[in-house]
Copies of this chain bind each other. A is one copy, B any other.
Amino acid sequence: MLRVPYADLYAALHRTMQHLGLKGDRAALCARLFAEATRDGVYTHGLDRFPRFSAMVRNGSIDVNAEPERITGFGCIERWNGHRGPGNLNAHAAMQRAIALAKQNGIGAVALANTNHWMRGGSYGWQAADQGLFALCWTNTLANVPVWGSAAPTIGNNPLIIAIPRPQGHVILDMAMSQFSYGTLAAYTKRGTPLPVPGGFDSQGNLTTDSAAIEASQRALPIGYWKGSGLSLVLDMMAAMLSGGLATHQFPLDPLHETGLSQFFLAIDPANLASAAELTHIADEILVNLHHAPPIDPAKPIRYPGEQVLKIREENLRLGVPVDPELWRQIGATS
């Protein structure tokens, strides 16, 4: 594994985005969102995702110059059309608009239709929390998980992000509705180690920790079985209905043509409701209690969602950000 300075990673991605046709601030922000995901250890949705992003620009799924447009609104909720622009730029703009609405109204929301994969969903949680706001957001996806009771892919893994601002470290939940992504399943298969918990069904319909068997059956498990299956459905319904956009069943099963997604962004500004001291006190007391829970494995202390990100971020800024050498060579060559 190669480690490169964050500034070099950002600079290479920035040049690459410009080569792909992104202009000015948009190239800079798109590169920053990719670079930050990599810096924070979300490699699958950072640099490693760039080849697919680039392929989708080339095949026309992503229009690098399309900008999101406000279609309508009422009070503190608006509908936007992403015009199939870069998903991370559209999502960032939608969350920023939800934040602006929340600063005026306490709450703000944007339902975004016709967009693309937002890469790391957690980015938009960090975005809101860095500005002192709570946030919830989610996206639909193509059908990559069987609905509970069927073996056929019917629902998306529809990541849900919930962000809680906190001066000493935000709490950021970034959670897909499948127990494991297919990327994670492939990594276990490559290593030849069983999953830590059942991750799906084999082709005979038995729950299994054998990742290869799940890759073969394509029957990944929704979290909590019927519960995550239901949660995935209602997130898809809300995103599509509120945005007026497409739903999971309308996307082709080819990830390179998974475009026109629907997303929902909600921000809550607590500034006019409670003092910063009160909010921090309540959050800190909860997390102190959490950290006091005795771990089963003493080597694995209890952590809150997002806690590990700060450790990885610090390490990657200090030691350099891990990159795939071959991918880094390609990016360097084209940039």
Instruction: Tell whether, in the assembled complex, residue A289 and residue B249 are in contact, meaning their CB atoms are under 8 Å apart.
Output: yes
Task: Count identical subunits in the complex.
Answer: 2
B73, B237, B282, B290: which contacts A171 (Cβ < 8 A)? B237
Residues of B within 8 A of A225 (CB): 179, 197, 223
| Docked pose: A234 CA to B235 CA in angstroms | 18
Q: Does A322 contact B (CB under 8 A)?
A: no
Interface size class of A (residues with CB under 8 A): 35 or more
Q: Which 10 pairs show the lowest CB-CB distances between chains A and B?
A: A223-B224, A75-B106, A75-B105, A74-B272, A77-B106, A249-B289, A150-B293, A230-B305, A154-B293, A74-B106
Instruction: Tell whether, in the assembled complex, residue A274 and residue B238 are in contact, meaning their CB atoms are under 8 Å apart.
Output: no
Interface residues of A in 224-243 (CB under 8 A from B): 224-225, 227-228, 230-231, 233-238, 240-242
Residues of B within 8 A of A214 (CB): none
The interface-forming segment of A28-36, A186-194, A295-303 is: A295-303
Q: Tell me which of A236, A270, A273, A290 has the highest count of chain B C-beta atoms within 10 A of its own C-beta.
A: A273
Residues of B within 8 A of A79 (CB): 273-274
Q: Does A205 contact B (CB under 8 A)?
A: yes
Task: Tell me, rounded to whole Å, the shortest Cβ–Cβ distance linking A273 to chain B.
Answer: 6
B150, B205, B227, B305: which contacts A294 (Cβ < 8 A)? B150
Q: Does A42 contact B (CB under 8 A)?
A: no
Asked, given contacts A164-B241, A234-B164, whether A149 binds B295 with beta carbons under 8 Å apart, the answer is yes
Quick one: closest B residue to A136, CB to CB? B136
